[in-house]
Each structure stands twice: as structure tokens, then as C-alpha cells.
């Protein structure tokens, strides 16, 4: 979940912990966009420490903001829970909805977080990073191992049946090893 801009369209519930944890991540800018009044938005923005906030925002304003950020070459993650967040969730590079949010937001979003706590987004990010690390490690192993089998076969050192057996065994090994729990892996 490497993004230049994270936009939070959800209300104040749960955003405090998530924003604090997100700050340790990679976003260059965290923006809060809400339909709430200026006074309410200002108080929440000050409390949670977002980089920018916009109050009394209409759904099309959120979507236009996302599009503007994307035109400027930024990757955008939109986090929302309501009907008014749906256009922006759809426009963002990654749309994240909260399971307790509006059904249309959950349908449009790329990801729906099952918990009502936005801090779960950080668990999702950690799982994503570990999964990509596992995929790259497996890819490197398979390419190296199969290249070795091909060279040994071309050199006449391995019979085709032995090479096929070793190839299939390595595929099974990687498949079984990949079924391990990502949460148990060291950071």
C-alpha cells in the first residue's frame, strides 16, 4: 500500500489510531474530506493531525480531488464508508471501505475491511508486503531451480524423467510452503 496521498472520507470513529499508524508508512500527504461543518472538520483535523482537510464536501468534490491528484502523478488511496464516498472510492487507485459502511461503498471499493477499526488497514498492508516478498522469493527459487534442471538436461547429466520428477517435486514444495500463515512470518 504505497501511496502518495491517502484520503479519509470516513467519519472520526477509528481514524485516530489508523492515521497515527499510517504516518509511519509511506504516504506523503493525508487528507480528510468530510460533509461535516467547517467547525467540526477543523476540530477533528486538528486532533488527528491530517495534512489537509476539506469540510462540507460533496461526493463529486471528493471524486474530483482524487482525479486531480492522479493527474498530478500521485497514487491515491481513498478510505470511506458512506454513499457520499462512493465516487471517490471508484476513482482512487485503491478504494478501501469499512464493513459497517454503506452497501454501495462496500461494492465499489477494491478492499473492504471487515473490522470497524481503520487500524486493520495496517494489518492489510503488512500482509500485502509479506505476500509480495513471498511471491518474489518463490519466483527467484523456481526460475533458478528450473534453469539448473534445463542446463543439466541439455548437458546430458539428467534424464528427462528425472528432470520432470524434480520439477514437479519443486512445484509441490513451493506450493505447500506458500500455504504457511503470513502472520507468523518474522518482520
- Per-residue confidence in pLDDT tens, the chain, 187 aa: 455 566 666 554 445 445 555 655 666 788 888 888 889 888 888 887 778 888 888 889 999 999 999 999 988 888 887 788 888 888 988 888 877 777 787 788 888 777 666 667 777 778 888 999 999 999 999 999 999 999 999 999 999 999 999 999 999 999 999 998 888 776 6
What angle separates helix 15-23 from helix 120-154, to the nearest 10 degrees? 40
What angle separates helix 160-177 from helix 120-154, to the nearest 10 degrees? 170
Q: Which residues contact 109 (CB under 8 A, 6 or more apart)?
A: 80, 89, 95, 96, 97
The values of phi and psi at residue 98, to 5°, are: -95, 135
> What number of helices (H) and strands (E) belong to the chain?
7, 6
Strand segments, DSSP code E, in 91-177 are 94-98, 111-113
pTM of model > 0.75: no
Amino acid at each position: 500500500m504505497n501511496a502518495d496521498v491517502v484520503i479519509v472520507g470516513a467519519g472520526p470513529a477509528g481514524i485516530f489510531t489508523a492515521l497515527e499508524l499510517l504516518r509511519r508508512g509511506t504516504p506523503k500527504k493525508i487528507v480528510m474530506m468530510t460533509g461535516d461543518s467547517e467547525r467540526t472538520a477543523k476540530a477533528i483535523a486538528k486532533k488527528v493531525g491530517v495534512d489537509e482537510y476539506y469540510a462540507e464536501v460533496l461526493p463529486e468534490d471528493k471524486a474530483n480531488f482524487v482525479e486531480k491528484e492522479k493527474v498530478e502523478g500521485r497514487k491515491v488511496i481513498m478510505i470511506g464508508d458512506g454513499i457520499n464516498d462512493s465516487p471517490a472510492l471508484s476513482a482512487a487507485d485503491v478504494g478501501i471501505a469499512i464493513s459497517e459502511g454503506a452497501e454501495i461503498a462496500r461494492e465499489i471499493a477494491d478492499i473492504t475491511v471487515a473490522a470497524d477499526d481503520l487500524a486493520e488497514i495496517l494489518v492489510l498492508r503488512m500482509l500485502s508486503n509479506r505476500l509480495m516478498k513471498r511471491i518474489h522469493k518463490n519466483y527467484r527459487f523456481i526460475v533458478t531451480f528450473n534453469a539448473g534442471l534445463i542446463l543439466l538436461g541439455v548437458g546430458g547429466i539428467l534424464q528427462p524423467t528425472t528432470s520432470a520428477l524434480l520439477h514437479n517435486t519443486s512445484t509441490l514444495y513451493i506450493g505447500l510452503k506458500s500455504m504457511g500463515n503470513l502472520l507468523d512470518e518474522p518482520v
